[in-house]
Amino acid sequence: MSHKLNITVMLGGPSAEREVSLRTGAAVAAALRSLGHTVHELDPQSPEWILPAKTDAVFLALHGTYGEDGTVQKQLDALGVPYTGCDAEASRIAFDKVLTKQSCLEACVPTAKFAVINAASAALPTGLQLPLVVKPARQGSSVGLQFVERAEEWVAAIAESLKFDTEVLVEEKIVGRETTVGILGGKVLPVVEVRPKAGTYDYANKYTAGATEYFCPADFDAATTKRIQEAALGAFKAIGGRDYSRVDVMVRADGSPVVLEVNTLPGMTETSLLPKAAAAAGMNYAELCQHMIDLALVRK
């Protein structure tokens, strides 16, 4: 499908992750233009946006609420225009960390023990072992993420996380190596290991150049690699994913994988993790963007 298309890249948007989305969108637009496509950039800051006439496909470069939670997907479905990535329902499930966990449990995909909290007065859940990770159910990119190492930190962590959502996911902190697995066209890409030079892979380490090291393909034996990839693909299928996603997986010392979450619209700057994984599989950045468009056009 190498003929020239009219592609609209949707970027920016109203979420807390607007800045990262603008970077993703600019990189995608440049790559698609380099392939000879006509590219429009559309920043949907209000719900009243208008799609440029004769748009063949929409490349979604939005992150966070609105772009990643199924809202924009519903609008595009109503317009009958093919768009990249997961459909509205899979996006809604994946964006809600609680629904994702429940989907993984039902599909027997390994995930950390958890509880759901919706009140600042809630007591420390009895069935969970410290340390705990606390995060808003519906926010992307480590927004509102808290760690509870000691019981006395519980109240403040819950209060902070509840600023971002009415529902908070509390899960046991998995100690191990942090990995992420790209899925493209229903196939798993090489595993990427994420190693922050200090602390955890939080918002600052994620978006500060040089703060984190990445290894791809990650240095696991073949059996462990296969287990990690199977867990990631299982989670992707459990939420009803299509085309592509990036699944974050912790790997315990014994090699057992534990799925953290599914990102249905992962970062797509040149240095983002999905492009890194695609590169390790022999696909350059522009080819990756084209492939994502091709997957969407199959639905036209």
Return all residues near 164 (Cβ < 8 A) that are at least 6 apart.
136, 139, 143, 144
The Cα–Cα gap between 257 and 134 comes to 20
Token representation of residue 87: 């459909």
- Which has the closest alpha carbon to 55: 115, 111, 22, 10? 10
The Cα–Cα gap between 37 and 262 comes to 30
- 131 dihedral zone (left: phi>0; alpha: psi -120 to 50; beta): beta
The Cα–Cα gap between 94 and 31 comes to 27
- 70 dihedral zone (left: phi>0; alpha: psi -120 to 50; beta): left
Cβ-contact 171, 205 below 8 angstroms = no
- Which has the closest alpha carbon to 84: 73, 95, 94? 73
Q: Mind telling me the catalytic residues?
A: 17, 141, 207, 246, 248, 261, 263, 267
